[in-house]
Amino acid sequence: MADAAGLWRMTLPGVLDGVTGRGMWAALNAVTPVTLDDGMLVLGLPSTDVELAGHLRMASTQRLIEAVATKASGQPVRVRLIEGVTLEDYELAKRRDVERRRLQEAEMAKMRAEMVARTSWDTVYEQLSRRYAAMTQKSLPQNRARFFEEGVDLIAEARKSQETWDEHGERNFARCLERLSQYSELPTTLCAHFVLQRAGEL
């Protein structure tokens, strides 16, 4: 395969023939071939021409460049557009890619943890509802007291196995306390006190 500059010289005429528009031509002519990296042709735009990048990032344009470059080289070629025209600019772009992936993975891990926590508390919330629905003679205080004890045990066990302690998890915990308060006709703060005490937090 030719070097980046040679491949781009072979590719550019065919791409120019396949596009229209003064802005597109200006963008293509402003491109500097930076390097070939494992079958990827890295093309750079100087910072002074970065406003032209939109033309080159269009999916149809990238497909055309890759098709012409692949035909010219005889091997599959992918295209990467970066801001800057040096190998140092490409290294910076790769470091940014790594950091972006790290942040995305951290965000996905957080979302998964929140989903697990939400699912766990949703289960507790539904169990409280089912147990209350199954309770006979709900108006009797002794039956509400038994329900309250069961509810405290249920929520305290879920609290002890809670893995995320962020605002999302705490709000779902509070939601279950409010449901217990509603059904047992006791103040929410009192319900929270008993649950936290049984969970070993007081």
Residue 32 half-sphere exposure toward CB, CA atoms < 13 A: 16
CA distance 162 to 154: 13
Predicted local confidence at residue 164, as pLDDT: 67
**Whether the predicted model's global pTM rises above the 0.75 cut:** no
Contacts of 45 (CB under 8 A, 6+ apart): 27, 30, 31, 32, 52, 53, 56, 81, 82, 83, 84, 85
Amino acid letter, 76: P
CA distance 52 to 183: 63
User: What are the mean pLDDT values of the chain's consecutive 10-residue runs (202 residues total)?
Assistant: 85 92 91 93 90 90 94 93 93 93 84 67 90 90 93 92 78 93 94 94 88
Predicted local confidence at residue 197, as pLDDT: 95
Predicted local confidence at residue 51, as pLDDT: 87
Predicted local confidence at residue 31, as pLDDT: 94
Q: Which helix (H) or strand (E) element contains residue 55?
A: helix 53-57
Predicted local confidence at residue 119, as pLDDT: 65
φ, ψ at 37 (rounded to 5°):
-130, 95
Predicted local confidence at residue 91, as pLDDT: 94
Q: Which residue's entry shows tokens 């289960």?
A: 123
